[in-house]
Amino acid sequence: MRPRACAPATAGSALFPSGLLLLLLLATLAWIASASRAGAVTELRCRCVKTTQGIHPKNIASVEVIRAGPHCPRHEVIATLRKGNEICLNPEAPWVKKFIQRYMNDESAL
């Protein structure tokens, strides 16, 4: 009887490590999936391939300024228009610099 009594305990304990391994694998996959969604915001490449010069500032709903870093060697200015489109502005253009300065002052006043 002793061998039979030990057999189910051995089989159960053999399932525990594989169940733990499966749980660890699922947790890792969930972490990778959540990290890939968060990575969509901070991709490791430049977001602006070309910039737009002629846009009226009144059509801009919001502005995102991305500083140069390991992902991109240049500053990027991404404007969201009132229609919902996103466009890249030339960060070196004088009107863009002036607009960003005003926009940042307005944001800090809120």
DSSP characters over 64-86: EEE--BTTBSS-EEEEEETTS-E
Strand order in the sheet with 60-66: 60-66, 76-81, 86-89
| Count of domains forming the chain | 2
109 within 8 A of 98, measured Cβ to Cβ: no
Q: Say if residue 66 is in the same domain as residue 30.
A: no
CATH number, domain containing residue 69: 2.40.50.40
63: β partners: 79
Cα distance between residue 101 and residue 110, in whole Å: 15
In a domain, 48, yes or no: no
pTM over 0.75: no
What residue type is assigned to position 74 of the chain? R
Q: In DSSP terms, which residues pair with 18 in a beta bridge?
A: none
pLDDT (tens digit, 0 to 9) for every residue of the chain, 110 residues total?
555 555 555 555 555 577 777 777 777 777 776 655 444 445 678 999 899 887 888 999 999 999 998 889 999 999 999 999 999 999 999 999 998 888 778 766 55
